[in-house]
Amino acid sequence: MSWTDERIETLKTMWEGGQTASQIADALGGVSRNAVIGKAHRLGLQARPSPVKSHDAATATATATATSEPAPTPVEPVVVAPPPPPAPTPAPAPEPVAVEEDAEEQDEPAPAPERVAAPQPVLRSVGPGGFVRQSPGEQQPPATPAPPRRLVPAKPSPEMAGKTSLLDLNDRICKWPLGHPGEPDFHFCGEKVNPGFPYCVEHCGHAYQAQMPRRDRRPPPPLPFGGPRVR
C-alpha cells in the first residue's frame, strides 16, 4: 500500500480528530499502526498526548549517590509556582490553512470574541465516523471539524450538480458527509446548521449523543472519509 493523497488526507483528518494510530491504521487498511505513526511524524503531525515522552531531567540525579549531596538545592526550594494564567488555549493547532481565497462574505467576519459559555454537561459526542469529538462548548469552537482543505476538484462531474461539495461549505451549512470521498456522488448535507454546531438539527441528533456504554471497539458506522475500503 502506498500513501496516496486520499489516504494521507484521511490520516491527517483522523489524527487531528483524535483517533488513535491503531484506529487510523485499520480504518485505512493495509498498514500497521506503526506505519501510521511513522507517517504522521513525517508529515509533521504530532503533538498529541503520548503516554511516553516525558524525559525531563531529574531521573538521573535520583540514583543515590551514597555520599550526601542529594540535591544542589536550587534556589527557591518551596516557593509555589505563580498563579496559572487564564489562557484557555486549545492545544492542537491544526496548522494555518492556506487555501481560503473566498471573497469576503457580506456578513461579519465573526471574530467572536466572546465564547458562549455553553453549560454543556459532560457529554461526549460521536462524529459521523463513529469517533468521539469534543462538545462544542468544551473546546473545539464551532468550526469545521475537518481541515478546510481541498479534497476534491471543483465540480468535475455533472453528478455534483446540485450537491453540496466541499467548496460549498461555510459556517452555516451542515457539514454532514454523505457517501465517501472519492465517490462520484460524495457530498455534504447542506442544510442550514443548528446555530453553534457544524451540523443541521437532524444531523446534530446523530452527531451528539451521550457516550454511555463502554468504550467498545470501533463500531462500524460509515466513516466520513471513506473508511476501510474492502481489502
Partner DNA sequence: CCCTGATTCGC
Partner DNA sequence: GCGAATCAGG
Positions 40 through 99 that interact with DNA (CB under 7 A): 40-42, 46-54
Residue 219 Cβ, how far from DNA at the closest point, in Å?
15
Residue 11 Cβ, how far from DNA at the closest point, in Å?
10
Candidate residues 6, 22, 132, 140; the one interacting with DNA per rule CB under 7 A: 22
224 in the Ramachandran plot: left (φ > 0), alpha (ψ -120 to 50) or beta? alpha
Q: What is the rounded (10 degree) CA torsion for 207, 208, 209, 211? A: 100
Residue 49 Cβ, how far from DNA at the closest point, in Å?
7
Work out whether 2 is an interface residue with DNA (CB under 7 A).
Answer: yes
In this complex, which beta carbon is closest to DNA, that of residue 30 or of residue 70? 30
Positions 24 through 43 that interact with DNA (CB under 7 A): 31-35, 37-42
Work out whether 203 is an interface residue with DNA (CB under 7 A).
Answer: no
Work out whether 218 is an interface residue with DNA (CB under 7 A).
Answer: no
Q: What are phi and psi of 24, to 5 degrees?
A: -60, -45
Binding positions for DNA, rule: CB under 7 A: 1-3, 20-23, 31-35, 37-42, 46-54
